[in-house]
Amino acid sequence: MSDHRPDTPACILVRPQLGENIGAAARAMLNFGWHDMRLVAPRDGWPNPRATALASGARDVLERARLADTLAEAAGDCHFTFATTARTRDMSKPVFTPETAVAEARARMAAGQRVGFVFGPERAGLENDDIAQASAIVTVPVNPGFASLNLAQCVLLVAYEWMRQGDAAVRQAPVPASASVAEVTQWATHLEHELDAAGFFFPPAKAPHMKRSLRNLWSRMPLEQRDIQILHGALRQLVRGKAGGG
């Protein structure tokens, strides 16, 4: 990453399929000054000549794009992430419009946090496991009888909102020292590991759903760094105390 504080959110494309769409997303971003693109497991590998060809003047965005194997890795330094979905799903997460999401993102970034917007693959969109890792959901309120936004158009609308709300529209609410996605993921992994050892994920058929519910729970919580430290410490002591003879 660049060493200066980022002035626009990260645009995280999860498993994008066509290079053309990655290039079009880069153009959409740059129209409104966004430059921090991150790619999670692009289907056709990376770099992709079709993406480069379509990006045209936005090639610089592609060349500086960060490649990652997982969403957790790509969003590791973000304190708050928005998962874009076509429909609000039953994930019990706060649901934002682009307008309210950008207001939230601007407030957090003004307080020094990093924020990412996460976009899914062209056809199917984000999977529930991806959404479970996000802090919140953002949905464009389209015509319920006709919704046909493509990937670059979704990116465009969010980046447009960012521009529209301008630097002056920063909310003055205090923002806590949120834990990063990496820190929350580390905690969720720690707990999952200990619960696994304790035989919590039973029966095995239900384990994936149970694990997703737990990940979803933690990613929704407004956890601060010190909360994470307390939780790690408590879990370690619970395991140690019992193993020691409690």
Q: Which is nearer to a copy of itself, 9 or 41 (CB)?
A: 9
Report in angstroms how near the CB of residue 45 gets to a copy of itself at its nearest.
25
Query: Would you say 118 and 134 are in contact if contact means Cβ atoms under 8 Å apart?
Result: yes
Report in angstroms how near the CB of residue 157 gets to a copy of itself at its nearest.
6
- Whose tokens are 């006709």? That residue is 146
Query: Would you say 21 and 46 are in contact if contact means Cβ atoms under 8 Å apart?
Result: no
Report in angstroms how near the CB of residue 48 gets to a copy of itself at its nearest.
19
Report in angstroms how near the CB of residue 128 gets to a copy of itself at its nearest.
16
Q: Which is nearer to a copy of itself, 77 or 194 (CB)?
A: 194
Q: Which is nearer to a copy of itself, 69 or 90 (CB)?
A: 90
Q: Which is nearer to a copy of itself, 25 or 41 (CB)?
A: 25
Q: Which is nearer to a copy of itself, 73 or 99 (CB)?
A: 99
Length of the chain in terms of residues written: 246
Backbone phi and psi for residue 202, each to the nearest 5 degrees, phi listed first: -140, 140
Report in angstroms how near the CB of residue 69 gets to a copy of itself at its nearest.
28
